[in-house]
Amino acid sequence: MSIWKYWKHWKKGLPIVASVSALTLVLVGYISGAAGIKKGHEITPNKKGNVKDGSIKKITNFSGPLDNLSNRSAQSKPVEGGSIVLDETRGPKHLDPALAYDTQSWEVIQQLNDELVTYKKGTNNTEIKGMDAKSWTISKDQKTYTFHLRNGLTFWNGQPVTAQNYIDEMERIATKKLGSDAQWLITNIVGEQAFYNGKAKTISGLSAPNKNTLVIKLTHPTPTELERLAEPFFSPIDPGFLKKVGHKAFDSSKVMGDGPFMLQSINSKQVVLVKNPHYWQKDQYGNQLPYLNKITINIDKNTGVDAANYEQGKTAWLGKQQQIPSSALPKFENTPKLKQSVQKVVQNAVYYVGLNNKMAPFNKKAVRQAMEYAINKQAIVQILNGQAVTANQPLPPNVPGYETNLPKSIQYNYEPTKAKQLLKQAGVTASKLHVTLYSQNSPHQMKIDKSIQSDLKAIGIDVTLKAMPWSKFLSVVRKGKAQMFFLNWVQDYPDASDFLMLFKSTQAPDNNSSMYKNTNVDKWLKQARDTSNSQQRIQLFHKVTNQIMQDAPWVPVYYPVRYYAVQKWIHGWYAPAYLRDAMQYVWISKGRNTAKNPF
């Protein structure tokens, strides 16, 4: 992995804690196959727990259809037609799949485009299935992937979708001038670096022996290759259409995809999607997907209005992009008719305090360990109105590789006295320590910053708070110039390496902004990268986690919890494994009357 810009942190539509709404990304094992082909290895979900306050056990580990939705949808045959309205606080920043790296953009473009593979619809979302690819094979050395596309795939304009369209998109992503933040995901393809650096006109590891066959050759085995290819960046591109409308229009208003919905209109206040009548997918009854004729997404920053619209039955759900607003959460949990539509999910994301290991006083391990004991995580959870659970390591509890048996010596409880002892052991005088905490300037974040400031003051350390606009904050952090900072990481694809690579020395300062370096951690991460044996990878991830917690380059603070609400007349909606609402499966009850019976 080379360049991974810090838009990764922005991607959740989450300027840190402006709202605690990190995405739900659930466990996905390594099942590599489709249409009856299963290759590779599957990781069995690990046990939950080992979070000091035990609060994770109280939260639903939900990764499929909401229970009431699943039961209700099974009782009747899907109904075609109709439309729904959704409220969101932000519109898409990009419509170009190669450029989009925020969830608001992904919510829209993943309705407009298909990828080669995706996550299987179902209660666990643990399998990769074919999307545009009907099947694929993986070579014995696990370095060659051959995908076979479905017959008859077309863009909305009738142009056929071919393997070359996928190569065109990957080469766009690898074009330095375009500046795609997805480029790091394909650096493992043979010839990508030569192309990226202008030394080759094509990526030699990509080929299309015929219009429906795509071959990808890798420089080394990559256990997460299919999960990477399920990312929204890797959609087919119609080069003729792109050339006709230009890059700027393609990214903002004039798009061409092959997904279940087409873009009818877009402006700063509204996005309207309509059914693609030529979409390839059908349900078990032979009905062509999607079921809905139209989706209207209204963009309004007033979350109070969003909650009211849902309560009145005007909108279909408060889901992936606009969860239940924190101000409305008490009402939703205490009103019986609202409460029955609520589900809460621990996210595969972690919020943390980064400590710059190259800057005093955090160049001393004992000082960093003191920070682990000094920060009251439970107080921060209370600030967030319960929309979080305390974290005890970088990996969230639903990610394979989560360490359920951390040694007692690195189970850092809130112990200010222990923190003071460690400072003394480090040979520093707390009253002489002055540190600066960098963060993004939002009201929620300021409350958290002040809590941390108070905690460190209690052990004698003065903290200067330096809140700044998001882009400026990221610029300081990713250059390795922040002494102490509050940031988050939200899963891109379901593998422990997606989190733990943040501690790889070669990732400094962009991703490894704590400037942490441990040769064993580097070695173990490389070994985990190069093997597809799931048990060996888990063991290596455990070793990495234990070493990281011993070295304390971060203070993991909390894992966010997201609250969903879905109307009872909505069927087929489920919390997907990936970063979107899978709207092609949604249908509405026939003849529903929202004015008389919103619930």
Helix (H) or strand (E) holding 416: helix 416-425
Q: What is the pLDDT of residue 591?
A: 75
Residue whose pair of structure tokens reads 């008719």 in the numeric block: 337
The backbone torsions φ and ψ at residue 352, rounded to the nearest 5 degrees and listed phi first, read -150, 160
What is the pLDDT confidence band of residue 302, given thresholds at 50, 70 and 90?
confident
Cis status of the peptide bond prior to 598, with omega within 30 of 0: no
Q: Are 483 and 356 in contact (CB under 8 A)?
A: yes
CA-nearest of 379, 368, 372, 386 to 433 is: 368
Note the pTM of the prediction, 2 decimals. 0.78
Q: What is the pLDDT of residue 126?
A: 59
* Cα 92 to Cα 109: distance, rounded to the nearest angstrom: 9
Q: What is the pLDDT of residue 576?
A: 61
Helix (H) or strand (E) holding 564: strand 554-566
Q: What is the pLDDT of residue 135?
A: 98
pLDDT at 408 over 70: yes
Task: Tell me the average pLDDT of the chain.
Answer: 85
| SS3 (DSSP) at 486 | strand
Q: What is the pLDDT of residue 574?
A: 79
pLDDT at 80 over 90: yes
Q: What is the pLDDT of residue 21?
A: 33
- Side chain identity, residue 451: S
Q: Residue 157 is encoded by which pair of tokens? A: 């304009």
> 349-561 is classed in which CATH architecture?
Roll (3.10)
* Cα 238 to Cα 240: distance, rounded to the nearest angstrom: 6
> Percentage of the chain surpassing pLDDT 90?
69
pLDDT at 354 over 50: yes
Q: Tell me what the mean pLDDT of segment 571-578 comes to.
A: 74
CA-nearest of 496, 429, 355, 360 to 43 is: 496
* pLDDT tens, position by position, 430-484: 778 999 999 999 888 999 999 999 999 999 999 999 999 988 998 999 999 999 9
pLDDT at 376 over 90: yes
Q: Tell me what the mean pLDDT of segment 280-303 comes to.
A: 94
pLDDT at 205 over 90: yes
Q: Tell me what the mean pLDDT of segment 228-239 comes to.
A: 95
CA-nearest of 575, 35, 43, 4 to 321 is: 575
pLDDT at 504 over 70: yes
Q: Which of 105-109, 292-296, 373-377, 445-449 has the lowest mean pLDDT?
A: 105-109
- Side chain identity, residue 206: L
Q: What is the pLDDT of residue 386?
A: 80
* pLDDT tens, position by position, 8-26: 444 443 433 333 333 332 2
The runs of H, that is alpha helices, within 113-213 are 163-173, 192-196
Q: What is the pLDDT of residue 125?
A: 59
Question: What distance lies between CA 462 and its chain's CA centroid?
Answer: 35
Q: Tell me what the mean pLDDT of segment 268-288 comes to.
A: 95
* Cα 351 to Cα 557: distance, rounded to the nearest angstrom: 6
- Neighbour count for residue 159 (Cβ, 10 Å): 16
Helix (H) or strand (E) holding 380: helix 377-383
* Cα 178 to Cα 564: distance, rounded to the nearest angstrom: 36
CA-nearest of 384, 509, 392 to 16 is: 384
Do the two domains 66-341+567-588 and 349-561 of this chain adopt the same fold?
Answer: no
Q: Residue 583 is encoded by which pair of tokens? A: 């709207």
Q: What is the pLDDT of residue 63?
A: 36
Q: Tell me what the mean pLDDT of segment 106-135 comes to.
A: 86
What is the pLDDT confidence band of residue 565, given thresholds at 50, 70 and 90?
very high
**CB hemisphere CA count around 115 (13 angstroms):** 22
What is the pLDDT confidence band of residue 46, given thresholds at 50, 70 and 90?
very low
The backbone torsions φ and ψ at residue 471, rounded to the nearest 5 degrees and listed phi first, read -65, -40
Return the biggest CA–CA distance within the chain: 73
Q: Tell me what the mean pLDDT of segment 115-124 comes to.
A: 77
* pLDDT tens, position by position, 152-186: 999 999 999 999 999 999 999 999 999 998 999 99
Strands (E), 107-174: 117-119, 128-130, 133-138, 144-149
b/e for 71-86, b at 16 or more Cβ within 10 A?
ebbeeeebbbebebeb
What is the pLDDT confidence band of residue 119, given thresholds at 50, 70 and 90?
confident
Q: What is the pLDDT of residue 522?
A: 98
Q: Tell me what the mean pLDDT of segment 502-512 comes to.
A: 93
Q: Tell me what the mean pLDDT of segment 356-369 comes to.
A: 97
Q: Which of 54-63, 244-253, 432-441 has the lowest mean pLDDT?
A: 54-63
Strands (E), 320-475: 342-346, 349-355, 388-390, 434-440, 462-468
**Angle at the Cα of 577 from the Cα atoms of 512 and 533, rounded to 5 degrees:** 65
Q: What is the pLDDT of residue 538?
A: 96
What is the pLDDT confidence band of residue 290, given thresholds at 50, 70 and 90?
very high
Q: What is the pLDDT of residue 494?
A: 80
Which range of 320-324, 395-399, 457-461 scores highest in mean pLDDT? It is 457-461
pLDDT at 120 over 50: yes
Helix (H) or strand (E) holding 264: strand 261-266
* Cα 358 to Cα 514: distance, rounded to the nearest angstrom: 8
* Cα 341 to Cα 317: distance, rounded to the nearest angstrom: 9
Q: What is the pLDDT of residue 39?
A: 30
The backbone torsions φ and ψ at residue 155, rounded to the nearest 5 degrees and listed phi first, read -75, 170
Q: Residue 271 is encoded by which pair of tokens? A: 């996005």
Q: What is the pLDDT of residue 127?
A: 77
Domain 66-341+567-588 classification at class level: alpha beta
What is the pLDDT confidence band of residue 32, given thresholds at 50, 70 and 90?
very low
What is the pLDDT confidence band of residue 66, given thresholds at 50, 70 and 90?
very low
| SS3 (DSSP) at 464 | strand
Q: What is the pLDDT of residue 2?
A: 34
Q: Domain residues of the chain, as ranges?
A: 66-341+567-588, 349-561
> Percentage of the chain surpassing pLDDT 70?
84
State the angle between helix axes of 416-425 and 365-374 in degrees (0 to 180), rounded to the nearest 10: 170
* Cα 285 to Cα 273: distance, rounded to the nearest angstrom: 24
Q: Which of 275-279, 359-363, 487-491 has the lowest mean pLDDT?
A: 487-491
